Amino acid sequence: MNASTPDPPATPPAAGRLQRLLNWVERIGNRLPDPAMLFVWALVLTMLLSAALAPVQFTATDPRTVVRDAAGQITHAEPLRVINQLSGKALVTFLSRMVKTFVEFPPLGVVLVALLGVGVADATGFIRAVIRALLNVTPRNLLTPMLLLVAIVSHSAGDTGYVLVIPLGGVIFAAAGRHPLAGIVAAFAGVSGGFSANFLPSGLDPLLQGFTQSAAQIIDPNRTVNPLCNWFFTSASCLVIIGVGTWLTDRVIEPRLRSVPVDGEPVDASATESLSARERRGLLAGLVTAGVGLFLLALAAWPAGSPLRAPSGSLTAHGAPLMEAIIPLIFFLFLIPGVVYGVVVGTVKTHRDVVKAMSHSMSTMGYYLVMAFAAAQFTFVFRESNLGALLAVQGALGLQQLGLPAQVTIVGIVLLSAAVNLVVGSASAKWAFLAPIFVPMLMQLGISPELTQAAYRIGDSSTNIITPLLAYFPLIVVYAQRYVKSTGIGTLVSLMLPYSLLFLVTWTLLLLVYWALGLPLGLQAPYTYP
Protein backbone atom coordinates (compact mmCIF):
# COMPACT_ATOMS: atom_id res chain seq x y z
CA MET A 1 0.00 0.00 0.00
CA ASN A 2 1.17 3.54 -0.68
CA ALA A 3 3.03 5.04 2.23
CA SER A 4 0.58 7.92 2.46
CA THR A 5 -2.30 5.57 3.12
CA PRO A 6 -2.62 4.44 6.75
CA ASP A 7 -3.52 0.83 7.46
CA PRO A 8 -7.22 0.13 8.05
CA PRO A 9 -8.19 -1.34 11.39
CA ALA A 10 -7.23 -4.95 12.02
CA THR A 11 -9.61 -7.67 10.93
CA PRO A 12 -11.87 -8.76 13.82
CA PRO A 13 -11.38 -12.44 14.78
CA ALA A 14 -15.06 -13.14 14.12
CA ALA A 15 -14.55 -12.16 10.52
CA GLY A 16 -11.73 -14.68 9.95
CA ARG A 17 -13.99 -17.38 8.51
CA LEU A 18 -15.62 -14.88 6.16
CA GLN A 19 -12.23 -13.60 5.04
CA ARG A 20 -11.10 -17.14 4.22
CA LEU A 21 -14.24 -17.70 2.16
CA LEU A 22 -13.70 -14.44 0.27
CA ASN A 23 -10.05 -15.33 -0.32
CA TRP A 24 -11.20 -18.63 -1.84
CA VAL A 25 -13.73 -16.84 -4.06
CA GLU A 26 -11.01 -14.45 -5.19
CA ARG A 27 -8.57 -17.23 -6.04
CA ILE A 28 -11.17 -19.21 -7.99
CA GLY A 29 -12.47 -16.12 -9.75
CA ASN A 30 -9.04 -14.92 -10.78
CA ARG A 31 -8.35 -18.30 -12.41
CA LEU A 32 -11.09 -17.51 -14.89
CA PRO A 33 -9.96 -16.18 -18.26
CA ASP A 34 -9.47 -12.47 -18.88
CA PRO A 35 -12.91 -10.75 -18.86
CA ALA A 36 -12.79 -10.28 -22.62
CA MET A 37 -12.12 -13.98 -23.17
CA LEU A 38 -14.79 -14.87 -20.61
CA PHE A 39 -17.36 -13.20 -22.85
CA VAL A 40 -15.94 -15.00 -25.89
CA TRP A 41 -16.24 -18.40 -24.19
CA ALA A 42 -19.74 -17.51 -22.99
CA LEU A 43 -20.65 -16.62 -26.57
CA VAL A 44 -19.37 -19.98 -27.86
CA LEU A 45 -21.20 -21.85 -25.08
CA THR A 46 -24.43 -19.99 -25.87
CA MET A 47 -24.17 -20.92 -29.54
CA LEU A 48 -23.59 -24.60 -28.74
CA LEU A 49 -26.36 -24.71 -26.13
CA SER A 50 -28.81 -23.01 -28.49
CA ALA A 51 -28.04 -25.58 -31.19
CA ALA A 52 -28.63 -28.42 -28.71
CA LEU A 53 -31.93 -27.02 -27.37
CA ALA A 54 -33.40 -25.71 -30.63
CA PRO A 55 -35.03 -29.07 -31.55
CA VAL A 56 -36.64 -29.39 -28.10
CA GLN A 57 -40.36 -28.61 -27.99
CA PHE A 58 -41.07 -26.64 -24.81
CA THR A 59 -44.62 -26.41 -23.48
CA ALA A 60 -44.11 -23.05 -21.79
CA THR A 61 -45.77 -20.10 -23.53
CA ASP A 62 -43.66 -17.19 -24.72
CA PRO A 63 -45.28 -14.22 -22.90
CA ARG A 64 -44.22 -11.86 -25.73
CA THR A 65 -46.53 -13.67 -28.19
CA VAL A 66 -49.70 -13.68 -26.07
CA VAL A 67 -52.64 -11.80 -27.58
CA ARG A 68 -55.84 -11.26 -25.60
CA ASP A 69 -59.29 -10.00 -26.47
CA ALA A 70 -61.23 -7.29 -24.64
CA ALA A 71 -62.41 -9.80 -22.03
CA GLY A 72 -58.85 -10.84 -21.24
CA GLN A 73 -59.11 -14.23 -22.93
CA ILE A 74 -56.07 -15.53 -24.81
CA THR A 75 -56.70 -15.56 -28.56
CA HIS A 76 -53.15 -16.34 -29.68
CA ALA A 77 -50.00 -17.68 -28.05
CA GLU A 78 -46.87 -19.42 -29.23
CA PRO A 79 -44.67 -21.83 -27.30
CA LEU A 80 -41.27 -20.63 -26.18
CA ARG A 81 -38.51 -21.98 -28.38
CA VAL A 82 -34.75 -21.63 -28.48
CA ILE A 83 -33.28 -20.23 -31.70
CA ASN A 84 -30.25 -22.07 -33.08
CA GLN A 85 -27.39 -19.56 -33.29
CA LEU A 86 -25.25 -21.95 -35.33
CA SER A 87 -27.68 -22.03 -38.24
CA GLY A 88 -26.57 -20.43 -41.48
CA LYS A 89 -29.09 -17.62 -41.17
CA ALA A 90 -28.13 -16.82 -37.56
CA LEU A 91 -24.39 -16.83 -38.34
CA VAL A 92 -24.86 -14.51 -41.31
CA THR A 93 -26.92 -12.15 -39.12
CA PHE A 94 -24.24 -12.29 -36.42
CA LEU A 95 -21.45 -11.41 -38.86
CA SER A 96 -23.38 -8.74 -40.75
CA ARG A 97 -24.38 -7.01 -37.50
CA MET A 98 -21.04 -7.35 -35.70
CA VAL A 99 -19.99 -3.72 -36.18
CA LYS A 100 -23.47 -2.38 -35.51
CA THR A 101 -23.78 -4.58 -32.42
CA PHE A 102 -20.57 -3.11 -31.02
CA VAL A 103 -21.37 0.50 -31.89
CA GLU A 104 -24.89 0.24 -30.45
CA PHE A 105 -23.78 -1.50 -27.24
CA PRO A 106 -25.65 0.68 -24.67
CA PRO A 107 -22.83 1.36 -22.17
CA LEU A 108 -20.27 2.21 -24.87
CA GLY A 109 -21.47 5.64 -25.93
CA VAL A 110 -22.54 6.50 -22.38
CA VAL A 111 -19.06 5.83 -21.03
CA LEU A 112 -17.05 7.49 -23.78
CA VAL A 113 -19.13 10.67 -24.10
CA ALA A 114 -19.29 11.23 -20.34
CA LEU A 115 -15.54 10.64 -19.95
CA LEU A 116 -14.72 13.26 -22.57
CA GLY A 117 -16.14 15.95 -20.28
CA VAL A 118 -15.07 14.34 -17.02
CA GLY A 119 -11.55 13.88 -18.43
CA VAL A 120 -11.19 17.61 -19.01
CA ALA A 121 -12.49 18.45 -15.53
CA ASP A 122 -10.02 15.95 -14.07
CA ALA A 123 -7.00 17.06 -16.12
CA THR A 124 -7.50 20.73 -15.27
CA GLY A 125 -7.71 19.91 -11.54
CA PHE A 126 -11.35 20.94 -11.11
CA ILE A 127 -12.53 17.56 -9.78
CA ARG A 128 -9.61 17.29 -7.35
CA ALA A 129 -10.34 20.81 -6.11
CA VAL A 130 -13.99 19.92 -5.47
CA ILE A 131 -12.95 16.75 -3.62
CA ARG A 132 -10.38 18.58 -1.50
CA ALA A 133 -13.02 21.15 -0.56
CA LEU A 134 -15.49 18.38 0.35
CA LEU A 135 -12.91 16.58 2.47
CA ASN A 136 -12.35 19.75 4.45
CA VAL A 137 -16.01 19.79 5.55
CA THR A 138 -16.84 16.04 5.68
CA PRO A 139 -15.79 14.11 8.81
CA ARG A 140 -13.80 10.98 7.98
CA ASN A 141 -16.34 8.70 9.68
CA LEU A 142 -19.14 10.06 7.45
CA LEU A 143 -17.27 9.60 4.19
CA THR A 144 -18.67 6.13 3.45
CA PRO A 145 -22.38 6.94 4.05
CA MET A 146 -21.98 10.18 2.09
CA LEU A 147 -20.57 8.26 -0.88
CA LEU A 148 -23.36 5.66 -0.69
CA LEU A 149 -26.00 8.40 -0.53
CA VAL A 150 -24.58 10.11 -3.63
CA ALA A 151 -24.44 6.73 -5.40
CA ILE A 152 -28.11 6.06 -4.63
CA VAL A 153 -29.28 9.52 -5.71
CA SER A 154 -27.41 9.08 -9.02
CA HIS A 155 -30.08 6.52 -10.07
CA SER A 156 -32.36 9.42 -10.99
CA ALA A 157 -29.90 10.32 -13.74
CA GLY A 158 -29.84 6.91 -15.41
CA ASP A 159 -26.40 5.32 -15.70
CA THR A 160 -24.54 8.38 -14.46
CA GLY A 161 -23.31 6.61 -11.34
CA TYR A 162 -21.33 4.05 -13.33
CA VAL A 163 -19.29 6.62 -15.22
CA LEU A 164 -19.05 9.32 -12.56
CA VAL A 165 -19.74 8.26 -8.96
CA ILE A 166 -17.85 4.94 -8.95
CA PRO A 167 -14.48 6.29 -10.20
CA LEU A 168 -14.87 9.31 -7.93
CA GLY A 169 -15.35 6.90 -5.02
CA GLY A 170 -11.79 5.68 -5.55
CA VAL A 171 -10.44 9.22 -5.84
CA ILE A 172 -12.25 10.42 -2.73
CA PHE A 173 -11.12 7.51 -0.56
CA ALA A 174 -7.53 7.83 -1.79
CA ALA A 175 -7.56 11.55 -1.04
CA ALA A 176 -8.82 10.81 2.49
CA GLY A 177 -5.96 8.37 3.11
CA ARG A 178 -8.16 5.28 2.70
CA HIS A 179 -7.77 2.43 0.24
CA PRO A 180 -9.14 3.53 -3.16
CA LEU A 181 -10.58 0.08 -3.92
CA ALA A 182 -12.80 0.42 -0.85
CA GLY A 183 -14.22 3.62 -2.31
CA ILE A 184 -14.81 1.99 -5.70
CA VAL A 185 -16.63 -1.05 -4.30
CA ALA A 186 -18.70 1.04 -1.87
CA ALA A 187 -19.84 3.28 -4.72
CA PHE A 188 -20.48 0.22 -6.92
CA ALA A 189 -22.60 -1.28 -4.15
CA GLY A 190 -24.70 1.90 -3.93
CA VAL A 191 -25.02 2.51 -7.66
CA SER A 192 -25.69 -1.06 -8.79
CA GLY A 193 -26.46 -3.22 -5.74
CA GLY A 194 -28.90 -0.62 -4.46
CA PHE A 195 -30.29 0.12 -7.93
CA SER A 196 -33.92 0.02 -6.76
CA ALA A 197 -33.34 2.10 -3.64
CA ASN A 198 -33.90 5.81 -4.14
CA PHE A 199 -35.44 8.77 -2.36
CA LEU A 200 -36.19 10.32 -5.75
CA PRO A 201 -38.38 8.85 -8.53
CA SER A 202 -36.43 7.66 -11.55
CA GLY A 203 -37.12 6.52 -15.09
CA LEU A 204 -37.15 2.90 -13.87
CA ASP A 205 -40.40 3.45 -11.93
CA PRO A 206 -42.73 4.07 -14.89
CA LEU A 207 -40.79 1.56 -17.00
CA LEU A 208 -41.49 -1.33 -14.61
CA GLN A 209 -44.99 -0.05 -13.87
CA GLY A 210 -45.94 -0.40 -17.54
CA PHE A 211 -45.07 -4.12 -17.54
CA THR A 212 -46.73 -4.65 -14.14
CA GLN A 213 -49.97 -3.00 -15.21
CA SER A 214 -50.14 -4.95 -18.47
CA ALA A 215 -49.56 -8.19 -16.57
CA ALA A 216 -52.21 -7.31 -13.96
CA GLN A 217 -54.76 -6.68 -16.70
CA ILE A 218 -54.41 -10.30 -17.78
CA ILE A 219 -56.53 -11.10 -14.71
CA ASP A 220 -58.35 -7.79 -14.29
CA PRO A 221 -58.61 -5.65 -17.46
CA ASN A 222 -59.53 -2.59 -15.38
CA ARG A 223 -56.61 -2.89 -12.93
CA THR A 224 -54.21 0.05 -12.98
CA VAL A 225 -50.83 0.46 -11.26
CA ASN A 226 -49.41 3.81 -10.12
CA PRO A 227 -45.88 4.54 -11.42
CA LEU A 228 -44.88 5.45 -7.84
CA CYS A 229 -46.41 2.33 -6.28
CA ASN A 230 -43.07 1.38 -4.65
CA TRP A 231 -41.82 4.89 -3.85
CA PHE A 232 -42.20 4.75 -0.05
CA PHE A 233 -40.58 1.32 0.12
CA THR A 234 -37.65 2.29 -2.13
CA SER A 235 -37.15 5.41 -0.01
CA ALA A 236 -36.98 3.32 3.18
CA SER A 237 -34.67 0.92 1.36
CA CYS A 238 -32.07 3.68 1.11
CA LEU A 239 -31.55 3.49 4.87
CA VAL A 240 -30.85 -0.24 4.63
CA ILE A 241 -28.43 0.13 1.73
CA ILE A 242 -26.55 3.02 3.37
CA GLY A 243 -26.44 1.35 6.79
CA VAL A 244 -25.43 -2.11 5.59
CA GLY A 245 -23.06 -0.70 2.97
CA THR A 246 -21.30 1.51 5.52
CA TRP A 247 -20.84 -1.33 8.01
CA LEU A 248 -19.51 -3.71 5.37
CA THR A 249 -17.12 -1.16 3.87
CA ASP A 250 -15.64 -0.06 7.18
CA ARG A 251 -15.65 -3.40 9.03
CA VAL A 252 -15.17 -6.05 6.33
CA ILE A 253 -13.85 -4.61 3.07
CA GLU A 254 -11.17 -2.20 4.31
CA PRO A 255 -9.66 -4.74 6.72
CA ARG A 256 -9.56 -7.21 3.81
CA LEU A 257 -7.69 -4.64 1.69
CA ARG A 258 -5.13 -4.00 4.42
CA SER A 259 -2.43 -6.06 2.70
CA VAL A 260 -3.28 -5.02 -0.87
CA PRO A 261 -0.70 -2.51 -2.18
CA VAL A 262 -1.72 0.43 -4.35
CA ASP A 263 0.65 -0.17 -7.26
CA GLY A 264 -1.21 1.70 -9.99
CA GLU A 265 -1.96 5.41 -10.00
CA PRO A 266 -0.17 6.97 -7.02
CA VAL A 267 -2.26 8.42 -4.25
CA ASP A 268 -1.89 12.19 -4.36
CA ALA A 269 -0.79 13.26 -0.89
CA SER A 270 -1.58 16.89 -1.75
CA ALA A 271 -5.25 15.97 -2.05
CA THR A 272 -5.75 16.51 1.66
CA GLU A 273 -4.04 19.92 1.68
CA SER A 274 -5.99 23.16 1.81
CA LEU A 275 -6.67 24.98 -1.45
CA SER A 276 -4.47 27.90 -2.41
CA ALA A 277 -6.02 31.32 -3.01
CA ARG A 278 -5.77 30.82 -6.77
CA GLU A 279 -7.37 27.39 -6.54
CA ARG A 280 -10.20 28.78 -4.43
CA ARG A 281 -10.85 31.46 -7.07
CA GLY A 282 -10.84 28.80 -9.78
CA LEU A 283 -13.14 26.54 -7.79
CA LEU A 284 -15.57 29.39 -7.17
CA ALA A 285 -15.55 30.30 -10.87
CA GLY A 286 -16.09 26.68 -11.89
CA LEU A 287 -18.92 26.11 -9.41
CA VAL A 288 -20.63 29.36 -10.39
CA THR A 289 -20.41 28.29 -14.03
CA ALA A 290 -21.92 24.91 -13.19
CA GLY A 291 -24.63 26.61 -11.12
CA VAL A 292 -25.54 28.93 -13.98
CA GLY A 293 -25.71 25.93 -16.31
CA LEU A 294 -28.04 24.07 -13.96
CA PHE A 295 -30.19 27.19 -13.52
CA LEU A 296 -30.55 27.59 -17.29
CA LEU A 297 -31.43 23.91 -17.57
CA ALA A 298 -34.10 24.26 -14.87
CA LEU A 299 -35.42 27.36 -16.65
CA ALA A 300 -35.68 25.45 -19.92
CA ALA A 301 -37.39 22.48 -18.26
CA TRP A 302 -39.87 24.50 -16.14
CA PRO A 303 -42.60 25.36 -18.72
CA ALA A 304 -45.33 22.74 -19.13
CA GLY A 305 -44.67 22.70 -22.87
CA SER A 306 -40.90 22.36 -22.55
CA PRO A 307 -39.32 20.19 -25.27
CA LEU A 308 -37.42 18.49 -22.43
CA ARG A 309 -40.66 16.92 -21.17
CA ALA A 310 -42.31 13.69 -22.27
CA PRO A 311 -45.73 13.90 -23.99
CA SER A 312 -47.26 13.20 -20.57
CA GLY A 313 -45.53 16.30 -19.18
CA SER A 314 -43.11 14.32 -17.00
CA LEU A 315 -39.42 15.17 -16.83
CA THR A 316 -38.37 11.83 -15.36
CA ALA A 317 -40.52 9.37 -17.30
CA HIS A 318 -38.75 6.71 -19.30
CA GLY A 319 -37.99 8.20 -22.72
CA ALA A 320 -38.41 11.83 -21.62
CA PRO A 321 -35.98 14.04 -23.62
CA LEU A 322 -34.36 15.25 -20.39
CA MET A 323 -33.58 11.67 -19.37
CA GLU A 324 -32.30 10.89 -22.86
CA ALA A 325 -30.01 13.92 -22.71
CA ILE A 326 -28.51 13.19 -19.28
CA ILE A 327 -25.12 12.00 -20.57
CA PRO A 328 -24.60 14.93 -23.00
CA LEU A 329 -25.62 17.29 -20.20
CA ILE A 330 -23.01 15.68 -17.92
CA PHE A 331 -20.47 16.16 -20.70
CA PHE A 332 -21.09 19.92 -20.82
CA LEU A 333 -21.57 20.37 -17.06
CA PHE A 334 -18.08 18.98 -16.50
CA LEU A 335 -16.38 20.29 -19.63
CA ILE A 336 -17.28 23.98 -19.29
CA PRO A 337 -16.66 24.40 -15.51
CA GLY A 338 -13.46 22.36 -15.91
CA VAL A 339 -12.20 24.69 -18.62
CA VAL A 340 -13.19 27.77 -16.60
CA TYR A 341 -11.30 26.42 -13.58
CA GLY A 342 -8.29 25.62 -15.75
CA VAL A 343 -8.19 29.12 -17.23
CA VAL A 344 -8.29 30.72 -13.79
CA VAL A 345 -5.59 28.53 -12.22
CA GLY A 346 -3.46 28.33 -15.37
CA THR A 347 -3.80 24.65 -16.29
CA VAL A 348 -5.59 25.61 -19.51
CA LYS A 349 -3.74 28.10 -21.70
CA THR A 350 -5.00 27.20 -25.19
CA HIS A 351 -7.62 25.00 -26.78
CA ARG A 352 -4.90 22.40 -27.33
CA ASP A 353 -4.84 21.73 -23.57
CA VAL A 354 -8.54 20.81 -23.70
CA VAL A 355 -8.08 18.51 -26.68
CA LYS A 356 -5.06 16.91 -25.00
CA ALA A 357 -7.11 16.25 -21.86
CA MET A 358 -9.87 14.60 -23.90
CA SER A 359 -7.33 12.49 -25.79
CA HIS A 360 -5.74 11.33 -22.55
CA SER A 361 -9.08 10.27 -21.07
CA MET A 362 -9.80 8.22 -24.21
CA SER A 363 -6.34 6.63 -24.18
CA THR A 364 -7.11 5.02 -20.82
CA MET A 365 -10.16 3.21 -22.25
CA GLY A 366 -8.40 0.84 -24.67
CA TYR A 367 -8.84 -2.24 -22.48
CA TYR A 368 -12.47 -1.39 -21.85
CA LEU A 369 -13.14 -1.12 -25.59
CA VAL A 370 -11.80 -4.65 -26.11
CA MET A 371 -14.03 -6.01 -23.33
CA ALA A 372 -17.02 -4.01 -24.56
CA PHE A 373 -16.64 -5.50 -28.05
CA ALA A 374 -16.67 -9.05 -26.68
CA ALA A 375 -19.52 -8.28 -24.24
CA ALA A 376 -21.64 -6.73 -27.00
CA GLN A 377 -21.33 -9.79 -29.24
CA PHE A 378 -22.19 -12.17 -26.40
CA THR A 379 -25.19 -10.07 -25.32
CA PHE A 380 -26.55 -10.09 -28.88
CA VAL A 381 -26.23 -13.87 -29.31
CA PHE A 382 -27.66 -14.61 -25.85
CA ARG A 383 -30.67 -12.38 -26.51
CA GLU A 384 -31.33 -13.81 -29.96
CA SER A 385 -31.06 -17.41 -28.70
CA ASN A 386 -34.00 -16.95 -26.25
CA LEU A 387 -32.03 -18.83 -23.56
CA GLY A 388 -32.60 -15.99 -21.09
CA ALA A 389 -36.34 -16.05 -21.73
CA LEU A 390 -36.37 -19.82 -21.28
CA LEU A 391 -34.59 -19.59 -17.93
CA ALA A 392 -36.95 -16.87 -16.67
CA VAL A 393 -40.18 -18.55 -17.76
CA GLN A 394 -39.27 -22.07 -16.63
CA GLY A 395 -38.08 -20.80 -13.25
CA ALA A 396 -41.31 -18.88 -12.71
CA LEU A 397 -43.44 -21.86 -13.67
CA GLY A 398 -41.49 -24.07 -11.26
CA LEU A 399 -42.13 -21.61 -8.45
CA GLN A 400 -45.83 -21.54 -9.30
CA GLN A 401 -46.08 -25.32 -9.13
CA LEU A 402 -44.65 -25.42 -5.58
CA GLY A 403 -47.78 -23.78 -4.13
CA LEU A 404 -45.96 -22.15 -1.19
CA PRO A 405 -47.46 -19.81 1.46
CA ALA A 406 -47.68 -16.13 0.48
CA GLN A 407 -44.65 -14.94 2.48
CA VAL A 408 -42.51 -17.85 1.29
CA THR A 409 -43.66 -17.23 -2.28
CA ILE A 410 -42.57 -13.58 -2.06
CA VAL A 411 -39.14 -14.68 -0.83
CA GLY A 412 -39.08 -17.14 -3.73
CA ILE A 413 -39.81 -14.30 -6.16
CA VAL A 414 -36.87 -12.36 -4.70
CA LEU A 415 -34.49 -15.32 -4.96
CA LEU A 416 -35.58 -16.34 -8.46
CA SER A 417 -35.24 -12.75 -9.69
CA ALA A 418 -31.77 -12.60 -8.15
CA ALA A 419 -30.78 -15.86 -9.88
CA VAL A 420 -32.10 -14.80 -13.29
CA ASN A 421 -30.31 -11.47 -12.88
CA LEU A 422 -26.97 -13.31 -12.97
CA VAL A 423 -27.46 -14.03 -16.67
CA VAL A 424 -29.97 -11.41 -17.84
CA GLY A 425 -28.79 -7.97 -16.76
CA SER A 426 -31.50 -5.59 -18.00
CA ALA A 427 -34.15 -4.88 -15.35
CA SER A 428 -36.81 -4.11 -17.94
CA ALA A 429 -35.98 -7.11 -20.15
CA LYS A 430 -36.30 -9.52 -17.21
CA TRP A 431 -39.54 -7.97 -16.02
CA ALA A 432 -40.97 -8.15 -19.55
CA PHE A 433 -40.57 -11.95 -19.29
CA LEU A 434 -41.39 -12.42 -15.62
CA ALA A 435 -44.24 -9.94 -15.03
CA PRO A 436 -46.82 -11.78 -17.19
CA ILE A 437 -46.12 -14.90 -15.10
CA PHE A 438 -45.42 -13.56 -11.61
CA VAL A 439 -48.12 -10.89 -11.42
CA PRO A 440 -51.18 -12.96 -12.50
CA MET A 441 -49.91 -15.97 -10.52
CA LEU A 442 -49.63 -13.99 -7.29
CA MET A 443 -52.88 -12.10 -7.90
CA GLN A 444 -54.63 -15.47 -7.83
CA LEU A 445 -52.97 -16.07 -4.46
CA GLY A 446 -54.31 -12.71 -3.17
CA ILE A 447 -51.02 -10.79 -3.53
CA SER A 448 -51.11 -7.40 -5.22
CA PRO A 449 -49.10 -6.51 -8.35
CA GLU A 450 -47.41 -3.72 -6.41
CA LEU A 451 -46.02 -6.12 -3.79
CA THR A 452 -44.85 -8.52 -6.49
CA GLN A 453 -43.02 -5.71 -8.27
CA ALA A 454 -41.30 -4.66 -5.02
CA ALA A 455 -40.08 -8.23 -4.48
CA TYR A 456 -38.76 -8.40 -8.03
CA ARG A 457 -36.84 -5.14 -7.61
CA ILE A 458 -34.98 -6.47 -4.57
CA GLY A 459 -33.75 -9.56 -6.40
CA ASP A 460 -32.98 -7.59 -9.54
CA SER A 461 -30.74 -5.14 -7.67
CA SER A 462 -28.91 -7.33 -5.17
CA THR A 463 -26.97 -9.55 -7.58
CA ASN A 464 -26.01 -6.88 -10.12
CA ILE A 465 -22.65 -6.49 -8.41
CA ILE A 466 -21.50 -10.12 -8.57
CA THR A 467 -22.19 -11.02 -12.19
CA PRO A 468 -19.49 -10.36 -14.80
CA LEU A 469 -22.34 -10.35 -17.34
CA LEU A 470 -23.48 -6.94 -16.07
CA ALA A 471 -22.75 -4.58 -18.97
CA TYR A 472 -20.74 -2.21 -16.75
CA PHE A 473 -18.83 -4.92 -14.85
CA PRO A 474 -15.76 -4.76 -17.13
CA LEU A 475 -15.66 -0.99 -16.62
CA ILE A 476 -15.51 -1.42 -12.83
CA VAL A 477 -12.58 -3.84 -13.27
CA VAL A 478 -10.80 -1.13 -15.29
CA TYR A 479 -11.45 1.46 -12.57
CA ALA A 480 -9.99 -0.88 -9.94
CA GLN A 481 -6.94 -1.73 -12.08
CA ARG A 482 -5.96 1.93 -12.09
CA TYR A 483 -5.02 1.52 -8.44
CA VAL A 484 -4.30 -2.22 -8.08
CA LYS A 485 -2.99 -3.65 -11.35
CA SER A 486 -3.64 -7.26 -10.39
CA THR A 487 -7.40 -6.75 -9.94
CA GLY A 488 -9.36 -9.43 -11.78
CA ILE A 489 -12.89 -10.76 -11.93
CA GLY A 490 -12.35 -12.85 -8.80
CA THR A 491 -11.01 -9.87 -6.87
CA LEU A 492 -14.04 -7.74 -7.66
CA VAL A 493 -16.57 -10.54 -7.09
CA SER A 494 -14.99 -11.43 -3.72
CA LEU A 495 -15.19 -7.79 -2.64
CA MET A 496 -18.80 -7.41 -3.80
CA LEU A 497 -20.15 -10.78 -2.56
CA PRO A 498 -20.69 -9.61 1.07
CA TYR A 499 -22.68 -6.61 -0.18
CA SER A 500 -24.80 -8.79 -2.47
CA LEU A 501 -25.67 -11.40 0.16
CA LEU A 502 -26.32 -8.96 2.99
CA PHE A 503 -28.35 -6.63 0.76
CA LEU A 504 -30.44 -9.62 -0.36
CA VAL A 505 -31.13 -10.78 3.21
CA THR A 506 -31.73 -7.41 4.91
CA TRP A 507 -33.71 -5.96 2.03
CA THR A 508 -36.00 -9.00 1.90
CA LEU A 509 -36.50 -8.80 5.67
CA LEU A 510 -37.40 -5.12 5.29
CA LEU A 511 -40.09 -6.03 2.76
CA LEU A 512 -41.52 -8.73 5.03
CA VAL A 513 -41.56 -6.32 8.01
CA TYR A 514 -43.16 -3.64 5.83
CA TRP A 515 -45.81 -6.15 4.81
CA ALA A 516 -46.41 -7.35 8.36
CA LEU A 517 -46.81 -3.80 9.68
CA GLY A 518 -48.99 -2.72 6.76
CA LEU A 519 -46.78 0.26 5.96
CA PRO A 520 -47.59 1.82 2.57
CA LEU A 521 -45.42 0.59 -0.30
CA GLY A 522 -46.12 3.73 -2.31
CA LEU A 523 -48.95 5.60 -3.95
CA GLN A 524 -52.14 3.57 -4.43
CA ALA A 525 -50.33 0.36 -3.51
CA PRO A 526 -52.32 -2.25 -1.59
CA TYR A 527 -50.73 -5.50 -0.43
CA THR A 528 -53.63 -7.73 -1.34
CA TYR A 529 -55.78 -8.40 -4.38
CA PRO A 530 -58.57 -7.68 -4.90
Could you read off the pLDDT of 382-413 as tens digits, one per residue? 878 888 777 767 766 776 677 778 899 899 89
Which of 148-162, 390-404, 430-444, 454-468 comes out lowest in average pLDDT? 390-404
Which of 99-108, 149-158, 290-299, 493-502 comes out lowest in average pLDDT? 149-158
Contact 52, 353 (CB under 8 A): no
The per-residue pLDDT for 111 is 73
* pLDDT above 50: residue 478: yes
The per-residue pLDDT for 7 is 45
Grade residue 135 by pLDDT with cuts at 50, 70 and 90. low
Q: How crowded is residue 309: how many other Cβ atoms within 10 Å of its Cβ?
A: 19
The per-residue pLDDT for 107 is 67
The per-residue pLDDT for 10 is 45
The per-residue pLDDT for 1 is 38
The per-residue pLDDT for 157 is 59
Grade residue 345 by pLDDT with cuts at 50, 70 and 90. very high
* pLDDT above 60: residue 11: no
* pLDDT above 90: residue 336: yes
The per-residue pLDDT for 392 is 65
Contact 187, 151 (CB under 8 A): yes
* pLDDT above 70: residue 22: no
Q: Report the mean per-residue pLDDT for the chain.
A: 83
Shortest CA distance to 315 belongs to which of 426, 206, 196? 206
Average pLDDT over residues 164-180: 86
Q: How crowded is residue 67: how many other Cβ atoms within 10 Å of its Cβ?
A: 10
* pLDDT above 60: residue 292: yes
Give Cα separations from 311 to 190, 306, 307 (angstroms): 31, 10, 9
389 contact partners, CB below 8 Å, separation of at least 6: 62, 64, 80, 433
* pLDDT above 50: residue 13: no
* pLDDT above 80: residue 497: yes
Higher-scoring residue by pLDDT: 443, 277: 277
What's the one-letter identity of residue 146?
A: M
Which of 55-69, 89-103, 388-402 comes out lowest in average pLDDT? 388-402
* pLDDT above 70: residue 71: no
Q: What is the pLDDT of residues 23-59, one digit of tens each?
A: 766 666 566 666 678 778 889 998 999 999 999 888 7
* pLDDT above 80: residue 286: yes
Shortest CA distance to 102 belongs to which of 370, 469, 430, 426? 370
The per-residue pLDDT for 243 is 96
The per-residue pLDDT for 12 is 45
Distance CA 408, CA 478 (A): 39
Distance CA 488, CA 485 (A): 9
What's the pTM?
0.70
Higher-scoring residue by pLDDT: 180, 202: 180
* pLDDT above 80: residue 18: no
The per-residue pLDDT for 14 is 43
Percent of the chain with pLDDT over 90: 35
The per-residue pLDDT for 459 is 93
Q: What is the 3-state secondary structure (H, E, C) of 133-182?
A: HHHHHCCHHHHHHHHHHHHHHHHHHCCHHHHHHHHHHHHHHHHCCCCHHH
The per-residue pLDDT for 347 is 92
